[in-house]
Structure 1
Amino acid sequence: MPVIGVQLHTQDTHVMIDNGILQLTLLNPDGIVTGIRYNGIDNLLEVLNGEDNRGYWDLVWNSPGTPGTTGSFDVIKGTSFKVIVENEDQVEVSFTRTWDSSQEGKLVPLNIDKRFIVLRGCSGFYTYAIYEHLKDWPGFNLAETRIAFKLRKDKFHYMAMADNRQRYMPLPDDRLSGRGQALAYPEAVLLVNPVEPDFKGEVDDKYQYSCDNKDSQVHGWICTTDQPAVGFWMVTPSNEFRSGGPVKQNLTSHVGPTTLAVFLSAHYTGEDLVPKFSAGEAWKKVFGPVFIYLNCTMDGDEPLSLWEDAKQQMIIEVQSWPYTFPASDDFPKSNQRGNVNGRLLVNDRYVSDDNIPANGAYIGLAPPGNVGSWQRECKDYQFWTKTDINGYFLINDIRPGDYNLYAWVPGFIGDYQYSAAITMTPGSEIEVGDLVYKPPRNGPTLWEIGIPDRSAAEFYVPDPNPKYINKVYVNHPDRFRQYGLWERYAELYPNEDLVYTVGSSDYKKDWFFAQVTRKIDTNKYQGTTWQIRFKLDNVDQGSSYKLRVAIASATFSELQVQINDPKTNPLFSSGLIGRDNSIARHGIHGLYWLYNVDVPGKLLVQGDNTIFLTQPRSSSPFQGIMYDYIRLEGPSKLSSNEEYMSSTL
């Protein structure tokens, strides 16, 4: 049977694209997806919603100088429709909204061009958008932008985003008053009288389904009410247009049933990931394309086979990047891009006399900045990969532009930055050779707590309160995604704070995953002070020791360090840091912080010593610190660490 060519049907109020597999209907000239007909289902989108509340691009913006991450929510509606490509193999249409000075203060000062592409024989469609700010326009802040699809709640009940993160989901009705009880954090709801009794007693919270960019390439829903079963999947084939790098977390799919492609957000980072554009700053960025993939079961297939098929389609899309078919000149094809390759080694003389291949390191190009600045970069493009077991890497299909090369290596603290700037031109092949990262190190390791991997996942994550369960995360590697774990600290340590003894304590069991506040009365909290106790057989009181504290997340918190006497002024204070909200939003990491504290030897004693870590800020239950890794180093002049090792090690 021949594959039907793509047809475009334009009406006064709607545009419909049909390739014989699906029919995509958009409002004209708004460019909002109002209908997706597929496999005998008239519309996969929520027909109970208004036409402008089914499938849409949106953003959150604010005027320059406005602090925070909130602003005006804008469902982007085009004012002009144009056919870009129309033939039997492809239809690409454009819906644009052009800004002028009469809209100042009312609309974000951006020209926005939303594109939709349907290909011949393709079971799905692509969408991307081009945002442009011209030099003579006023400034603005852009807190978020994304595309959202709201599916039919009578059909799509099963959500999948990973092999071990999938389930039948509650209904949106279950979150309403009378069926759901709002909890301490606004997005979390306890299901007290759900439509489906099996969900009673569970917590629903969209942040429980957040995912790192690097792991979020396909997610979506399965309709099991119809036969054959139908799947609706969001496929993100590249992270180049997402902000914040590979470990930035974003929302995926959640109760609605809702499916998102989030391109820019401040979730798990705070205001640091809100791009701020000044008046006169020219900027243009292409978000996407992303692929909305539709599939259905064949006779005898299980509905979950659709998830397996969606993963295979994701691999096809990733391997096809950058796509050849988008018509915009702002989306460079593969021959208009360049590549960078090389090898990354680690030099830590206290680990090995030889350079160590950086196995599994994250290495990438991001706009020029300081060491580690990539994790706060949110205006332009980033290109990341992982090194192989021998430290070799190849970064493909990099857009032309000026970049720095950044890296971080699991197992070692700190950030690497290549000393030379890299300018990519079309077709360029840049070989950087062997690069050597020297992680921060002054002396031998006296003791360490945790694993330097920018996550607190290796520490003790308690069982949730039985009243606040999400069944997906029972006996699950991501047990930290349960609601209310911050409250468990005060239950485990009702009167005295955590004490960790080097040599006998086990960080997997004895180091709580987050240093949070303790509730002492209704809406009243107190800061906490943790102790690390250790022995030193000998102390060089004339030398300096080094305390390395790597933080995986911080939320309106402060780290104070004292040595042996908690009543003295802190030896170190970070000041107020962090707006990650990772504790409340069930994320085991946010932005990475590394503090290197000089500890004068005169503050240490032969025998028993104690380091006090205080987090004094205490206005809410969600303030706190997640540690990544802590290490005490001996004086740098030592050639061997044996002399100063604790007798307990």
Structure 2
Amino acid sequence: MAAILAFVSMAAMLTCCSSSAGNGHPVAPGAAVTTVHVKGQYVVMDNGIVRLTLSNPEGFITEVMYNGVDNLLEVHSSEPYWDVVWNEEENEEIFELIEGSQFQIIYQDDKKIEVSFKKKWNPSLKGKRSPLNIDKRYIYLQINSGDKSESSSGFYTYAIYEHVKGWPDFQITETRIAFKLRKEKFHYMAIADNRQRVMPMLQDRSPKRSQKLAYPEAVILVKPTNPALRGEVDDKYQYSSEYKDSLVHGWICAKPSIGFWLITPSNEFKSGGPLRQDLTSHVGPTVLGMFHSSHYAGEEIVAKFTNGEYWKKVFGPVFIYLNSDLKNSRPNFLWEDAKRQTQIEVANWPYEFPTSVDYLKKEQRGSVSGRLLILDKYISKNYIYGNATFVGLASPGEEGSWQKETKGYQFWVRANAKGNFFIKNVLSGVYNLYAWLPGFIGEFTYSTTITVTSGGNIDLHNLVYRPPRDGPTLWEIGIPDRSAAEFFVPDPNPKYVNKLYIEHDKFRQYGLWEKYADLYPTTDLIYQVGVSNYTKDWFFAQVTRFTLTGVYKLRVALASAHLSKLQVRINDPTIEPAHFTTELIGRDNAIARHGIHGFYWLFNISLQGSWLREGENTIFLTQSQSQTMFQGIMYDYIRMEAT
């Protein structure tokens, strides 16, 4: 059945919205007022710039009207949605759209509207619906601009998840909000200054127009609707970003010139810290707000709820921002404006307008400050300032546990040039303080837990991190920065190219795991310390095998591992058992998903003198698991020390 798209007269609308707020979105004349109307099975929210229609009581967004376009959303697919992927015990995972059963107007006046769509769980739903109460909220605002009030060019959404004590044990693999935009209008995607392009269309991935590759997400475009894209690879994982770099992303429509952006002003409600990677925008055109997932991490970051424990968490708010360029179709203008709006949202965090008591305001939060110094006597006899150190608060645990923590909140900052840090707007609670600095292996964990209270500041003064060290460095390979980016990343096979990554981020190209066998068809890579150059001679990922040369304490830092076992042998590549073997480690799948890192691992290996010989020694590093092409590890840094 053909779908019919409805449009408001463009000429009339553009004339109406001829004035501009100066930041890329039109403003209707006169004092705009926020309104909400319940019309049978729909709830309509309007602030004079953006009109939002939601299904009642489910809370699915069915229409976003802006700048004369009656609906920016794709009418051929399901509505934009919050979802959760979950399972109980050993049962298969269930993909569940979060569907409300109770609608309520939480707050309404001329300046703000907040509505709620609640999903309630009861025992009759066991095995059918996730054992969660979920309250989805949507907010419209008027904002003050000088001596007048203007409508906010977009809307906010957040959700409160609750698992009540005594409810069934279960686990959450993923939860997010997803938007599918009008495919005939939105063709240009932007996720960073150097990661923008005209994208393929969803139908270009169909069997008639594409060729499948090693996994379903990756295809070669054989007969795309845009001939300029013929022969390129499309894979949604090529557009993943680290949390610290993904505050804003979205799509641009050319006619009329409209930007649709998802702004995440804080990552405090996400798991895994600032280097965690996840999906952003991709072919669809799709915009994702990923709040929790196992991507680039695997089973270890699945949120597991056992013994009927109680849990509550607020995800968001995030801001859906709409802007326009009425005079010209300039993608860069809309992208730069979206970045400016992002800085405004970041500066306003935590927001004052959410009504839920579960979302704590600024005055209900505390802060932690201090200074981090590094002491490594083999580098300097003096303290080294922790310039640009990542410093964070997360749930109490052992060193590195924040990478796998899933149920609480995390707060991260970068220290200044003197090592000073100030972590503000921290939710009340008990935390450990963790820190790590690019250039030094391992990480600092504060010796005691920290209790943050409303309005309080905890000054930890000078903290000293002593990186693992038994003696002077004999040799080293790589840079200890939790990434394999400094190693040799080959050019892609010409038939697997994504043109966006020809000049930068080559690791995002498809099929690089196949290049190792091309470069070393009969023998493994051999790296000679003092002669070889790791930027040219150390392949960035060890997909099945490896060798190197060198001599008392061997420290091996991994940037990623997927279903792998690392074995270390000294001088004899056949000795069994190996001198050192890890257990089966990692499920981050970063190699297949074009990441340059996943979880961080550090192994400190004591080498017995009887294993070594006078003169030249050879160290064999073996990744012994090879059931699939994607099993492998990425090295961050290797160092041999005297003791």
Q: TM range, normalised to the smaller chain?
A: over 0.9
- C-alpha deviation, 1:64, in angstroms: 2.8
Q: 1:58 aligns with which of 63, 83, 87?
A: 83
- Distance in 1 (alpha carbons) for counterparts of 2:376 and 2:289: 40
Contact 1:64 1:277 in 2 (8 A): no
Q: Give the aligned residue type for 1:631.
A: R
Aligned to 1:386: 414
- Distance in 1 (alpha carbons) for counterparts of 2:98 and 2:343: 30
Aligned to 1:524: none
Aligned to 1:644: none
Aligned to 1:117: 139
Q: 1:444 aligns with which of 472, 475, 479?
A: 472
- Output aligned runs, 1:256-405, within 5 Å: 256-300=284-328, 302-405=330-433
Contact 1:190 1:203 in 2 (8 A): yes
The answer to whether residue 103 in structure 2 is matched with residue 95 in structure 1 is no
- Distance in 1 (alpha carbons) for counterparts of 2:420 and 2:329: 41
- Output aligned runs, 1:5-16, within 5 Å: 5-16=33-44
- Output aligned runs, 1:519-530, within 5 Å: 528=545, 530=546
Aligned to 2:8: none
> Residue 495 of structure 2 aligns to a residue in which SS?
coil
- Distance in 2 (alpha carbons) for counterparts of 1:114 and 1:601: 62
Aligned to 1:532: 548
> Residue 633 of structure 2 aligns to a residue in which SS?
strand
Aligned to 2:633: 625
- Distance in 2 (alpha carbons) for counterparts of 1:498 and 1:391: 40
- Distance in 2 (alpha carbons) for counterparts of 1:372 and 1:586: 23
- C-alpha deviation, 1:181, in angstroms: 1.0
- Output aligned runs, 1:110-509, within 5 Å: 110-120=132-142, 121-224=151-254, 226-227=255-256, 229-300=257-328, 302-476=330-504, 478-509=505-536
- Distance in 2 (alpha carbons) for counterparts of 1:138 and 1:71: 15
- C-alpha deviation, 1:300, in angstroms: 4.2
Structure 1 consecutive aligned stretches of length 4 or more whose deviation exceeds 6 Å: none
- Distance in 1 (alpha carbons) for counterparts of 2:118 and 2:190: 33
The answer to whether residue 133 in structure 2 is matched with residue 108 in structure 1 is no
- Residue by residue, what CA displacement relative to the aligned partner does 1:161-217 show, whole Å, maximum 9, x if unpaired? 000001000000000111011100221011111111111100000000000001110
The answer to whether residue 573 in structure 2 is matched with residue 566 in structure 1 is yes
- C-alpha deviation, 1:301, in angstroms: 6.2
Contact 1:253 1:260 in 2 (8 A): yes
Q: Give the aligned residue type for 2:459.
A: E
- C-alpha deviation, 1:475, in angstroms: 1.4
- Distance in 1 (alpha carbons) for counterparts of 2:350 and 2:519: 51
Q: Give the aligned residue type for 2:557.
A: A
Aligned to 1:542: none
- Distance in 1 (alpha carbons) for counterparts of 2:155 and 2:164: 30
Specify every segment of 5 or more residues in structure 1 that has no aligned partner in the other structure, as ranges: 518-527, 537-544, 636-649
- Distance in 1 (alpha carbons) for counterparts of 2:412 and 2:632: 30
- Residue by residue, what CA displacement relative to the aligned partner does 1:24-56 show, whole Å, maximum 9, x if unpaired? 11000000111000000000000222xxx1211
Contact 1:404 1:417 in 2 (8 A): yes
The answer to whether residue 561 in structure 2 is matched with residue 554 in structure 1 is yes
- Distance in 1 (alpha carbons) for counterparts of 2:339 and 2:522: 49
Q: Give the aligned residue type for 1:106.
A: K
Aligned to 2:594: 586
Q: RMSD value over aligned CA atoms?
A: 1.0
> Residue 515 of structure 1 aligns to a residue in which SS?
coil
Q: State how many pairs are aligned.
A: 606
- Distance in 1 (alpha carbons) for counterparts of 2:488 and 2:54: 49
- C-alpha deviation, 1:600, in angstroms: 1.1
- Distance in 1 (alpha carbons) for counterparts of 2:376 and 2:82: 47
Q: Give the aligned residue type for 1:6.
A: T
Aligned to 1:521: none
Contact 1:64 1:278 in 2 (8 A): no
TM-score, scaled relative to structure 2:
0.93
- C-alpha deviation, 1:302, in angstroms: 2.1
- C-alpha deviation, 1:3, in angstroms: 2.9
Q: Give the aligned residue type for 1:615.
A: Q
- Distance in 2 (alpha carbons) for counterparts of 1:302 and 1:155: 15
- C-alpha deviation, 1:415, in angstroms: 1.6
- C-alpha deviation, 1:272, in angstroms: 0.6
Q: Give the aligned residue type for 2:201.
A: L
- Distance in 1 (alpha carbons) for counterparts of 2:201 and 2:326: 27
Contact 1:54 1:151 in 2 (8 A): no
Contact 1:64 1:276 in 2 (8 A): no
- Distance in 1 (alpha carbons) for counterparts of 2:468 and 2:31: 60
- C-alpha deviation, 1:467, in angstroms: 0.3
- Distance in 2 (alpha carbons) for counterparts of 1:103 and 1:446: 62
Q: Give the aligned residue type for 2:387.
A: N
The answer to whether residue 65 in structure 2 is matched with residue 37 in structure 1 is yes
- Distance in 1 (alpha carbons) for counterparts of 2:173 and 2:37: 36
Q: Give the aligned residue type for 2:216.
A: P
- Distance in 2 (alpha carbons) for counterparts of 1:422 and 1:577: 31
- Residue by residue, what CA displacement relative to the aligned partner does 1:522-548 show, whole Å, maximum 9, x if unpaired? xxxxxx2x22223x6xxxxxxxx1100
- C-alpha deviation, 1:11, in angstroms: 1.5
- Residue by residue, what CA displacement relative to the aligned partner does 1:74-131 show, whole Å, maximum 9, x if unpaired? 0111000000011110000000010001101111100000000011210000000000
Contact 1:27 1:33 in 2 (8 A): yes
- Distance in 2 (alpha carbons) for counterparts of 1:119 and 1:490: 57
Q: 1:80 aligns with which of 102, 119, 122?
A: 102
- Distance in 2 (alpha carbons) for counterparts of 1:12 and 1:433: 59
Q: Give the aligned residue type for 1:212.
A: E
